[in-house]
Amino acid sequence: MNRTISIIGCGWLGLPLSKELAKIGHQVHGSTTQEMKIPLIEGANVKPYLLDINHKGIKNNVFFDSEIIIITLPPSSDNYEENISRLIEAIEYNTISKVIFISSSSVYPNTNKRVKESDAKRIISKHSGVALLDIENQFIKNKNFESSILRFAGLYGPDRHPGRFLKRKSQLAGGMNPVNLIHLDDCLAIIKTIIEKDAWGYIFNACADEHPTRKEFYTAASQSLGLPKPEFTKEDTDFKIVDSSYLKTTLSYQFLHPDPMVDLEAE
């Protein structure tokens, strides 16, 4: 069944997601704060909207005249908590009955073991000052609509090489720690699966099956970018392994990119 879907934020994730959903027949609204992005959104057969959620009164914007909304805003954006409150007000005011909120595996502390959905803690980010678990709860506990939360691991894919930050670092710690990553293709496919299966009211971890060590992975990443091989200190650091078994079982989903190392070898 085709739906009307609004996507907040047509960036690295939101724009290809808009294109994919439009391609399979959904009527898609895509928001941006930059007028220069309008042709890109239109080129994806998506209806573009200039929308600045920093401003009051957004609930009257026809962008919100849809059944489903997907929120891809990174918590690093300014006034994040206020903007989320404003978005929830707009959702309640309009016809939207379903929400997908893109969260992060940063809700888990480094416990040196596998973490499942129930292991999340209220952690205030040092970078944004936001506790993502508080934001998630605003959606999950709201009785005016149904929400599903996706806790993505580290994102990689086109124009987002996993070794890109090595240009700024010559030494890394925790060489034997596992990495937690997910490819853009899987991000898109999982979101499409949630919509197709009407999987609402869930919280899912989303991370590739395999977790190579940091030393193994970033050494290969540096070689694929033609960068000097990174050095690893002897310092031990805490880690976590993000477990996506609940998502795989509930949605009958198999990852398209189960092993990030294979993607490096293919380049």
Residue 224 lies in a domain: no
Residue 220 lies in a domain: no
**Dihedral class, residue 174 (left if φ above 0, else alpha if ψ from -120 to 50, else beta):** left
Kindly report the CATH number assigned to the domain that includes residue 129: 3.40.50.720
Q: Residue 78: which pLDDT band, with cuts at 50, 70 and 90?
A: confident
Q: Is the pLDDT of residue 75 over 90?
A: no
Inter-residue contact 70 to 52 (CB < 8 Å): no
3-state helix, strand, coil in the chain (%, to 5): 35, 20, 40
Residue 246 lies in a domain: yes
| pLDDT given at position 77 | 62
Report how far Cα 110 is from the mean position of its chain's Cα atoms: 20
Residue 82 lies in a domain: yes
Bigger pLDDT: 226 or 200? Answer: 200
Number of structural domains found in the chain: 1
* CA dist 70 → 10, 31, 34, 108, 232 (Å): 10, 11, 19, 23, 39
Q: Is the pLDDT of residue 166 over 90?
A: no
Q: What is the pTM of this model?
A: 0.95
**Tens digits of residue pLDDT in 177-211:** 999 999 999 999 999 999 999 999 999 999 999 99
| pLDDT given at position 167 | 64
Q: Which two tokens stand for residue 5?
A: 């879907």
Instruction: For residues 122-140, give the mean pLDDT.
Output: 93
Q: Is the pLDDT of residue 40 over 70?
A: yes
Residue 197 lies in a domain: yes
Residue 218 lies in a domain: no
Q: Residue 99: which pLDDT band, with cuts at 50, 70 and 90?
A: very high
Q: Is the pLDDT of residue 46 over 90?
A: yes
Query: Considering only CA atoms, which of 73, 74, 61, 75 is closest in space to residue 29?
Result: 61
Residue 223 lies in a domain: no
Query: What does the buried/exposed string (b/e) look like for 250-263 if buried means 16 or more CB atoms within 10 Å of the residue's CB?
Result: ebebebebeebbeb
Residue 85 lies in a domain: yes
Q: Is the pLDDT of residue 267 over 60?
A: no
Residues 6+ apart with CB under 8 A from 220: 261, 264, 265
Residues 6+ apart with CB under 8 A from 57: none
Q: Identify the domain containing residue 107 by its residue range.
A: 4-158+181-208+240-256
Q: How many CB atoms lie within 10 A of CB 153?
A: 23
